[in-house]
Amino acid sequence: MEEVFIPALGMAMEEAYLEKWLKHPGDAVNAGDVIALIETDKAQVEVACETAGTVGKHRFEVGASVPVGETITVVLAPGESE
Amino acid sequence: MGTREEMLAMLRMMMMIRNFEETADKLTLRGKVSGGMHNSSGQEAVAVGVMSALAPDDVIATTHRSHHHTLAKGFSAREVMAELMTKATGVSKGRGASMHLGDVARGHFGGNGIVGAGMGIGMGAALGIKLAGDKKVAVGFVGDGGMNTGRTWEAVNMAAIWKLPLIVVVDNNQYAVETFIERVTAGGDLPKRASGFGLPASTIDGQNVLEVKDAVAKARDFALAGNGPTFLNAVTYRYYGHNVGEKGQYRTLEEIEDWRTNRDPIDQLAARLFADGLLDQATFDEMTASVEAEIKDAVEFAENSPNPDPADVMLNVDSGKLRG
């Protein structure tokens, strides 16, 4: 199971605004697929997954401010569950 | 060259640095590392080649990208990882984070965030060595970006005119943040620029740890004989961005892939040792496993270490002599 999280992209970054979900629970994804768009103080950033699998539950709604490092969803390998 | 044991030690140290950096990169993205973090993956041979040619009490002064220098100098993965997480058990007792690793007592005069400053500090260390009459040398590390800042050449000039035991090592990863060196370096030839100060200057393959070691060993002998400084431009490549989290796209994926596939310093040394019969698969697998265990242990140590005690906030700020 891969945790997809808000990456720390700058020295002073503490949280990000969750702008849009591009993949939804149950969607099949490949490594490198963009899962969500987030906004930092400086830029819009694509959050991608590193492994192929099935997207899990969305843990935050669009519009949420999410702390750096927080898991926003997971990518499940075949046979795995949350 | 060196003995089999020396070669295997160099290989293992490069593997340890690579694993440390890849692990620390992930921890940084996850928000567990304070401040800026500069990954040195790809540049291991410069650090390990230099340190393999130095004696334990020789001095180094380094740059913002200094994990590889610090680990190769003999600092433990535990204390460096703990410093990245600004823990009390870190190299700098949690005050410095990634960019301020150092311990004067162990011949490491620190990293810092000022472009080219490691060279000035290294030159000062070399002056101190000369004044004290010690039989040792100082290495000043500088990046390619530092080649176009004034203080670097002031330090080279002073080291040359006073024949100080300094080795200037350009840890030249070819990009100053996102600027390719050829776009900003007039004349294009760094050793030619340095040789204007009348010291030996050359470009070496920074991906070949043995070539780096040999060049530094010669420079060290030259300095110890009282002949003064040497300038070494070690051409290397960083596999990741300038800092962790950088999303820049100023290098092509093909360029990065070419350096990773065809010029990787760890692959090159391992291939050579396999070919020469000095390394077998079982030994290599054992090294890989022991490196993984060492870095896993370092992360656990760092995560379980305490933060600095707020009561010690004035520790190391001054000598304490002026306070009541």
Q: Which CATH superfamily is domain B4-301 in?
A: Thiamin diphosphate (ThDP)-binding fold, Pyr/PP domains (3.40.50.970)
Q: Tell me what pLDDT residue B1 has.
A: 63
What per-residue confidence (pLDDT) applies to A10?
A: 78
Percentage of residues of chain A with pLDDT beyond 90:
87
Rounded CA separation A50/A3 (Å): 9
Instruction: Confirm or reject contact between B244 and chain A (CB < 8 A).
Output: yes
Distance CA B94, CA A74 (A): 33
B32 neighbourhood in chain A, CB within 8 Å: 69
pLDDT of residue B70: 98
Q: Which of B169, B170, B168, B166 is nearest to B228 (CA)?
A: B166
B253 touches chain A (CB under 8 A): no
Domain residue ranges of chain B, discontinuous segments joined by +: 4-301
pLDDT of residue B172: 98
- On whether any CB of chain B is under 8 Å from the CB of A7, the answer is yes
How many Cβ pairs closer than 8 A exist between chain A and B?
Answer: 28
Would you state the pLDDT for residue B324? 57
pLDDT of res. B34: 84
Q: Is the pLDDT of residue A41 over 90?
A: no
pLDDT band at A11 (very low <50, low <70, confident <90, very high): confident
B2: left (phi over 0), alpha (psi -120 to 50) or beta: left
| pLDDT at A19 (0 to 100) | 97
Ramachandran angles phi, psi of B242, nearest 5°: -60, -50
pLDDT of residue B2: 80
Instruction: For B35-82, write each residue's pLDDT tens digit.
Output: 889 999 999 999 999 999 999 999 999 999 999 999 999 999 999 999
Set of chain A residues whose Cβ sits within 8 Å of the Cβ of B245: 7-10, 13
Reported ipTM: 0.86
Query: In B263-293, which positions are buried (b, 16+ CB within 10 angstroms) versus exposed (e)?
Result: bbbbebbbebbeeeeebeeeebeebeeebee
Which chain A positions have a beta carbon within 8 Å of B36's beta carbon? 11
Write down all domains in chain A, each with its CATH number in brackets: 2-76 (2.40.50.100)
Q: In the prediction, which pLDDT does B277 show?
A: 96
* Dist. CA B277–CA B74, nearest whole Å: 27
Dump the DSSP string for B208-270: -HHHHHHHHHHHHHHHHTT---EEEEEE---SS-SSTT-----S-HHHHHHHHHHS-HHHHHH
Is A10 in Cβ contact with B245 (below 8 Å)?
A: yes
Q: Is the pTM of this model over 0.90?
A: yes
Give the mean model confidence (pLDDT) for residues A23-30: 97
Nearest CA in chain A to B241: A9
Q: Does the beta-carbon distance from A43 to B245 stay under 8 Å? A: no
pLDDT beneath 50, residues of chain B = none
Q: Across-strand partners of B108?
A: B60, B103
Strand order in the sheet with B59-61: B59-61, B138-143, B166-172, B230-235, B201-205
